[in-house]
Structure 1
Amino acid sequence: MVLGDERLGYKIIVGENRIDIKVCFDDKVYNASKWTPDPIVTTIPTLFTETITQVAISSILFLLLKPLNQPRVVSEMLAGILVGPSFLGLYPELSSKFFPVISATMLENVTSFGIIYYMFLVGLEMNLTPMLKIDKKTMMNAMMGMILPLAVGLGSYFLIIPPLEPGQAVLPKLRSAFVWAIALSATNLPDLTGILADLKLMRTNIGRTAVASSYVTDITTWFFLAILISISSQGHVLRMGISTLILVLFSAFLARPMLSWIIAKTSKGQDYKETHVQYVLFGVLISAFITDALGLGSIMGAFLFGFSLPSGQLASLITERIGKVMSWVMVPLYCLVNGTKSNVPTMIPKGRSIKHVILFMAFAWAAKVVSIFFVCLKPNMRRPREVFSLGVLMNSKGILALIAINVGRDLHLVDMEASTVMVVTILVMMMSVPPIIKYVYRPQGLMMRHKIRTIQSTGSESTFRILTCIHSKHEVQGITSLLQMSNPTALSKISAIGVHLVELTDHSSAAMLIMHDTCRTKGNHQQSTEAKSNPVIEAMEEFGRENNGFISVECMTAISRYTTMHVDVCNIAEDKRAAFIILPFHEQGNGKDEPEDIDTHSIRNMNMQVLSNAPCTVGLLVDYGLGKLNNGMNSIIMLFIGGPDDREALTYAWRMVWGPNIHLTVVRFLPGDGAVDPIPLDNPDESEGILNLLESNERQKELDNEFIHEFKHKMADNKSVRYLEEVANSGDETLATLRNVMEKNDYNLCIVGKGNKRITAVESGLSDLIEYQELGAIGDAMVTSEFSKTTSVLVIQHYNTTQQKLKARGGNRVLESRVLGSRVF
């Protein structure tokens, strides 16, 4: 069979077995003098053009499919198919300009080189430690969930190949069917975790089960690939099998300890250098060369080398250096090469029809779902909706499935039509996962709201649950210092939930951070292995061990895109029943070390979203070196103007003052005789008119007076507390008074309320000067003015001000009266 266009100067000759392919070039067009005389002039520019085209098309498709929560690999696979013979190949003149056949060899060689390092990164993120910590039940479910897809893959393969002729051997076809069985049983962990993160299901039981099961199936898939390569070697099955077994055992039990010892001796306790990264990358090539020489393929050696390298700082450094290049460039190119080998219009095999292809896809899609039903649907175990959702999630394929198919092509086990059907089936399965899960699975736990949780509602003899959000290590000291100042006692212990917020990337390292969190060792006495590779978690766990008496620390890592990260924060706060969320401000003060390279704009947007949707009180910490400036005594100032936020802020300061070495100054700002409250003209809520807002403001003043009266009464004999009242008729006078107060003493921490919907002459005119709306008028003045560059600022927002109105308008009075009646610290 001859394909191609003679006008373009080449012919593609396909053998009768539909596997062997030869490309013949016309001597008149591609003679010896014209056949790539200078690669810099011909092949390299073509490679650049192909790369730019593929990346651009896949990026556009990703933006178009983003509302459907489609993973990036879907857009990359679609782009590869579109620029291949399925679409662009229908227009030979256009195709020859962008993707000439003469450049195919260079493109495939570059892609093969890149996929070696990509598979090294995949192996780098997989080690036996998390796998050994997966419970036996999940392990068995994952293994049993692969048996039926393997059987379905073996059987359904015969639907997409020409019918067997009488007397034709079945054994060679079984090896070909094994290729599809491996691709069907695989579940790609990076793409699965990306889907779970986008749909905010990572913290659900289904999400955790899917991730753990996928981790097992990924490693098992590589084991099957090694078996496939071994049994496909003609005349060398025994030698290949023994070589594979020796390599796997050597990588798992000998190479890893040896590499750990070499790395420890080389680094000598110091930070790793670029030379260490160079040595490792060179080792990847050596390992790939060895396995390729043995006939196992270069990607197997790269994967095993990454699997052998211990996780830690060096692994993180390597991932940081090459991870984005692999995800953004090499993976799209791999999908491009895969697309050029797939011809959708001609994929129906001889003797088969579209019905056979549809039936094949239906079997493939249902295999995982049915197998999960058999394994998980037991009495009192899971609801059918959850089991169905778990089965659909396990249909998340990706690069791993494509690699299995391409290995079958390279071993001459899969023909053109069958491989194209497989690729299209993988694409359909991937595209169906997000919309089905989004429609079917709605976890009830995330939709429920518990009772109101604030600092005021936390009893004096109950555990104070605080959720701390941390983006980088330089924020840890301020957070831990604030926790220490929060007065943990034997009756009112502090339960701190330290959440390391990490931006979700397209590489598997983000996915494996979540796996490390899922498999984390519980308890504060034992440091988990995974924490050693995460400085933030390590620092928080160290703080927990140092304060094991009255402060307990639970650490976790939350991976998400910044646009939806606030959902994770709010869900974790709801799940952990936190009464207080502490967020670091997106810009840190001059008392800190140089901040890491983080996206401050995205962090600010996330903070504002948390303030709007949090299920409890929120504190925004602007750290100017909290914990570094104290000499045994912490001096705190609380600025009180009025409203629910200020009462909540004073409650927190009230709790602190009972702790050791704490000195508290409370400054209340009162309007003078000539002060006039401003009239709200800035469009209040539709359901709350101006008159109702003014009436609510008067009720808030009454509550303020009651709260301050009780505070003064309880603190009358406490020499660590000083109470001041200052009079101001306008915002300018307030700022002048505040400057004088701050210049008289050095304070470690200033606590203020955000002051949502507050109407008072004390702040009149300040709204036009606010730079950071999330800090409120007074908090913004403290941060942006030259009052003090050594005083950290904590801006507190009460829960009631972040949500829609709760029940009747008298609810706030009833709640706070009940809380005030039992206030004892």
Structure 2
Amino acid sequence: MAEAKICYVEEVYNPNEMWKTGPILTNYGPLLFLQIAFNIFICNTFHYILRPLHQPRLIAEVLAGMSMGLLLSTDNMLVRTVLPSEGILNIDTYASMGIMCYVFLSGLEMNLDDILKVQKKAAAIAIAGIIIPLAMGMGFYVVVQKLYQEPPSLLFTADGEHTAKAYLFWSLALTVTGFPVLALILADLKLLYTGLGKAALTTAMISDTCGWLLFIISIPFANNNVQAFWSVLGMMAFIAFCIFVLRPVMRKHINEGDKNEEDTWDNSLLLVVLIGAFVCSFVTDMLGSHFIVGAFVYGLVLPHGRFSDFVMRKLDDFVSVAMSPNFFFRSGLTVNFFMLARQKYWPWMVLVIFLLSIPKVAGTLITTFFYGVPVRDGLGIGLLLNSKGVLALIILNTAWDRKILSVVAFTIMVCAVFVMTILVPLLVNAIYKPRKLYEKYRLRTIEKLRMDSELRVLCYVLNIRQATSMAKVLRTMNATRISPLHVLGVHLVELIGRATALLAAQIQHPTQSASSQNLSHSQLKSEGISNTFKALSETTSGAIRVETLNVVSTYETIHQDIQSLAEQKRTALILMPFHKELNLQGDLETSNEAGKNINQNILQDAPCSVAIFVERGLGSLSRNNLRIMMPFIGGPDDREALAIAWRMARHPGNQLSMVRIILLDEAAKEAAPNDDGIHWLSSAAQDYESQKLLDEECIDSFRFKGVYNNDSITYSEKEVHNGEELISILHELDKDDHDLFIAGRGGSRRNSVMFLNFREWCDNPELGVIGDIVTSKSFGSRSSLLSVQQFGSRVMPFSNRDFPTKTDGSELV
């Protein structure tokens, strides 16, 4: 097949064309708009296809370009319409603007404080992961020279002028790590909060920073070796100007719009910021460096915190979805597979592409070996550091545009970068599954814990109000030095767009000692939540140990992070806030619909027991002398609820009233196993009779050890014959004005007709039948509620549609 050649008429390069009176927008605008729309459509299509494989968006965009690049060598209607030769310069200019804005946002979200505080081990791993690939990369380039010498013009320039530069840029692209891409991969694989994820994220920050420094130093030498020294000096002067002159001026103007807690900046300031990015890009280009260096440095020196959040909220969606994909698409479009296929030793080329993944892994394994890191973890870190990002593509495109790398060399390295990044999530997900490591700790319930053992609780919240409520519940758990309480307070942060800065914050303490004016809204919220939880340990003389953490992920998958953390920390209880809060009229109303979905997802596959707390008045739990009501019907959830209530009753001043509700006659009638809509009932994991024996044993132990030895605990029994009597008894119990109801989510008669009828009318099935009744507006109770589900007891689905069934009627797991 003949090689396709594109020639440009001289008029395209006429510097005066922009001043001509001809209809430029009419001539060039429609084609440019069509190309942008086509690129975005193709990139998003590939993104949705690759999303189940945990692939970053960048990979989908490059792959889309590669796929379309295969069509360039053919003469078809699509190429003539969307990718004509006369439109390449325009879309290339737009792509350059997109990558400039993308890099500006990357600099804006980076925080050098986190980089300067990393440990020596992470720095050593990062440096070794740069030096060893740099040396091995040059060796691989020598191999490429030997293999691909036919025809020589495909690999080298005619006079061999750029050979030394080719060695440098080829190896430099191999050494860098894409920190934003790696952070998103770890978040997607739910490994961000494991030891592997934290080590890889810390090392990647150092590696990415070193990669930018090497790029800034190396890029002047790509233009003119004689003036490279002066270009480097000019860049140093420019960076100093940005830090010591531009930064204070911008901070002064930005702070004028941030005198209050709310953001008061207008779009005019945003326009000034954008103009500054273009000006800095122009300056660094004039100094002999790359134009993206100016945008990156400018974003890096701008004040961070609420202002950076404001700018990213305004620009992120448009830049990441409508602008930067054109650059990555163009990078894939430049790859020429047909040229490689015509090489004599093309099978060895394929081998070289895969072998280029070895240097980074080898350097990491050697360093981690000396630090005593297990081989499996060292291999996992090395694979993760192979994640490439925008910097690697910028290096390669720079070398391509300035004719430092040829078609063959450029294509080999782009393919290697693509293969390395696409294999990272697949291999890491296959060889490193943290859920298996904590499998032996899954059977954790409070019922089986001794009273004198440490109770580990994971408590997650979405706002400070929920954190205050959770802290009050935890304070009633009767933590002592003999029976301590270990609390992991987690703030859930929704991952929207580019949240690399938030992800990076997880390797350090969630809050930093900084003025409130320098903190973003999410950081201020995290600091307030952290302080609320930490106040527990300060008031209990060490009986409560507190850890705080931010979890950043999409709300659709954030429950997997919670479950993974609970397994890792070996918690016995996950304490969750209810998705409804009290309004000014005293009624419960939905405050966050995402919280409801998170709670339901965790209840489906929790690694330990779970409790949902419904706050009915912020002052109801502020006293130490709480009045607690515990209705006991039977079953594992009620036994778990009793274990929690028993712990609270041991707290000085608290009073517990335990009422055993005995089901008789109609209330005890069981539904037929094959009735329509209740197939899941017939597959109950534990027999009712065995549950009844466990209930009797639990009640006897409670009465003997608790009631008879503690005057603050009372025990009584009530008989229920039908649903009306159950509601009547609950009304009677609520008349005593208790502060807190503790109820199991299910009951011993999970398949009783009475409970099935109640479930059909449940507004909040995640609370169970008793919990839904107590919190309903018609019931009229003002008591707070703690609904408990024991590990392994998924007794009540949220709807019949949530549990598909097999043809034999058993539950489909």
Q: How does 1:405-424 map to 2 (within 5 A)?
A: 405-424=396-415
1:641 aligned to 615, 633, 646, which one? 633
Structure 2 equivalent of residue 228 of structure 1 = 218
Q: Using the alignment, how far apart are the partners of 1:640 and 1:377 within structure 2?
A: 56
Q: 1:668 to 1:474 in 2, by over 3 A?
A: same
Deviations 1:420-476 (Å, cap 9, x if unpaired)? 332222112222222222333345863432274323344444433210112344532
* Matched residue type, 1:779: G
Cα deviation for residue 584 of structure 1 reads 2.5
2:329 maps to what in 1? 336
Separation in 2, partners of 1:598, 1:221: 44
Q: 1:185 to 1:421 in 2, by over 3 A?
A: same
Q: Quick one: which of 358, 362, 368 aligns to 1:370?
A: 362
Shift of 1:556: 1.4
- Indicate yes or no: 2:563 matched with 1:570: yes
Q: 1:134 Cα deviation (Å)?
A: 1.0
Kindly state the Cα deviation for residue 633 of structure 1 after the two structures are TM-superposed. 6.3
Q: Which residue of 1 aligns with 2:135?
A: 151
Residue-by-residue CA offset, 1:473-526 (whole Å, 9 max, x unaligned): 45323222322333334443332111223344552x2x3323211122899999
Determine the C-alpha separation between the residues in 2 that align with 1:149 and 1:776.
Answer: 57
Does structure 1 residue 316 correspond to structure 2 residue 302?
Answer: no
Q: Secondary structure of the equivalent of 2:746?
A: coil
Of 501, 524, 532, the match for 1:543? 532
Q: Indicate conservation of the 8 Å contact 1:120/1:302, yes or no.
A: yes
What is the letter of the counterpart of residue 284 of structure 2? T
2:391 is equivalent to residue 400 of structure 1: yes
Q: Which amino acid aligns with 1:106?
A: N
Indicate yes or no: 2:700 matched with 1:706.
yes
Once the two structures are superposed, the pairs formed by residues 134-533 of structure 1 within 5 Å of their partners are 134-160=118-144, 163=149, 172-234=162-224, 235-249=226-240, 263-264=254-255, 266-275=257-266, 277-347=270-340, 353-355=345-347, 357-378=349-370, 381-443=372-434, 446-450=437-441, 452-505=443-496, 507=498, 509=499, 511-520=500-509
Alignment partner of 1:552 out of 532, 545, 549: 545
CA deviation map 1:722-775 (0-9, x unaligned): 666544322233234434544x36555432111156346763621222344322
CA distances 1:751-801 after superposition (whole Å, capped 9, x unpaired): 211115634676362122234432222222334442247544321111242
Structure 2: state its 5+ residue gaps: 796-813
Q: Is the 8 A contact 1:671 1:728 kept in 2?
A: yes
| Structure 1 residue corresponding to 2:711, chosen from 710, 717, 723 | 717
Distance in 1 of aligned mates of 2:575 and 2:204: 33
How do 1:654-673 residues align onto structure 2 when only pairs under 5 Å count?
654-659=646-651, 662=654, 664-671=656-663
Q: CA 1:45–1:498 in structure 2 vs 1: closer, same or farther (change >3 Å)?
A: farther
Distance in 2 of aligned mates of 1:471 and 1:210? 27
- Structure 1 unaligned spans of 5+: 5-10, 14-21, 27-31, 804-825
- Corresponding position: 1:68 with 2:64: no
Equivalent residue for 1:696? 690
SS of the residue 2:440 aligns to: coil
Change (3 A) 1:348 1:701: closer
Secondary structure at the aligned position of 1:752 is classed as strand
Give the conservation status (yes or no) of the 8 Å contact 1:3–1:12. no
SS at match of 1:267: coil
Of the candidates 583, 608, 616, which is equivalent to residue 590 of structure 1?
583
1:543 counterpart SS class: helix
Within 1, Cα distance between the matches of 2:742 and 2:133?
59
Confirm or deny: 8 A CA contact 1:729 1:762 kept in the other structure: no
1:574-599 CA-partner distances (Å, limit 9, x unpaired)? 22222211122344443699999997
Match of 1:767 in 2: 759
Q: Is contact 2:670-2:749 (8 Å) kept?
A: no
Q: TM-score, normalised by structure 1?
A: 0.83
* TM-score, normalising length: structure 2: 0.84
Partner of 1:781: 773
For the 8 Å contact 1:81–1:342, the answer to whether it is kept is: yes
- Secondary structure in 2 aligned to 1:90? coil
Deviation at 1:541, TM superposition (A): 2.2
Shift in alpha-carbon separation, 1:785–1:305, aligned structure 2, 3 A: same
Secondary structure of the structure 1 residue equivalent to 2:6: strand
After superposition, the C-alpha distances for 1:588-623 in whole angstroms (9 at most, x for unaligned) are 44369999999735x544433322332321112234
State the one-letter code of the partner of 1:73: L
3-state SS of 1:765 partner = helix
2:34 to 49, 65, 87: 49
Question: Measured at CA, do residues 170 and 96 of structure 1 come closer, stay the same or move farther in structure 2, by a change above 3 Å?
Answer: closer
Measured at CA, do residues 599 and 159 of structure 1 come closer, stay the same or move farther in structure 2, by a change above 3 Å? farther
Which residue of the partner structure matches residue 742 of structure 2? 751
Q: Matches of residues 795-814 of structure 1 in structure 2 within 5 Å? A: 795-801=787-793
TM-aligned CA deviation for residue 144 of structure 1: 1.4
Over residues 352-377 of structure 1, what are the superposed CA-to-partner deviations in whole Å (9 max), with x where a residue is unaligned? 64145324314422221222233223
Secondary structure of 1:534's partner?
A: helix
Q: Is the Cα–Cα contact under 8 Å of residues 732 and 765 in structure 1 kept in the other structure?
A: no
Distance 1:450 1:460, change over 3 A: same
Write out per-residue CA displacement over residues 118-167 of structure 1, whole angstroms, 9 at most, x where no aligned residue.
Answer: 11221122222111121112101211111121123334335556647999
Distance 1:541 1:500, change over 3 A: closer
What is the distance in 1 between the residues matched to 2:622 and 2:299? 46
Matches of 2:660 and 2:52 in 1, distance apart? 49
Q: Name the CA shift for 1:688/1:194 in 2 (closer, same or farther; >3 Å).
A: same
Q: Distance in 2 between the 1:271 and 1:226 partners?
A: 37
Distance in 2, Cα, partners of 1:597 & 1:147: 55
2:479 counterpart SS class: coil
Query: SS in structure 2 opposite 1:180?
Result: helix
Query: Contact 2:635/2:692 (CA < 8 Å) preserved in 1?
Result: no
- 1:190, distance to aligned residue in structure 2 (A): 1.9
Shift of 1:309: 2.7
Amino acid in structure 2 at the alignment position of 1:219: T
| Number of matched pairs | 772
Residues 225 and 733 of structure 1: is their aligned pair in 2 closer, same or farther, counting only changes over 3 Å? same
Question: Is the CA contact 1:657–1:663 (under 8 Å) kept in the aligned structure 2?
Answer: yes
The whole-number CA distance in structure 1 between the counterparts of 2:521 and 2:545 is 19
| Residues in 2 aligned to 1:238 and 1:203: alpha-carbon distance in whole angstroms | 44
Contact preservation (8 Å) 1:288, 1:300: yes
1:80 aligns with 2:80: no
Please point out which of 636, 647, 653 is paired with 2:645.
653
| Displacement after TM superposition at 1:626 (Å) | 3.7
**Equivalent pair of 2:510/2:527 in contact (CA under 8 Å):** no
Measured in 1, the distance between the counterparts of 2:111 and 2:167 equals: 29
Q: How many angstroms apart in 2 are the aligned matches of 1:167 and 1:641?
A: 84
Percent of paired sites with the same residue: 29
Partners of 1:431 and 1:128 in 2: how far apart? 28
| 1:565 CA drift (Å) | 3.0
Residue type at the aligned position of 1:51: I
Where 1:801 maps in the other structure, the secondary structure is coil
Shift of 1:292: 3.0
Greater Cα shift, 159-168 or 431-440: 159-168
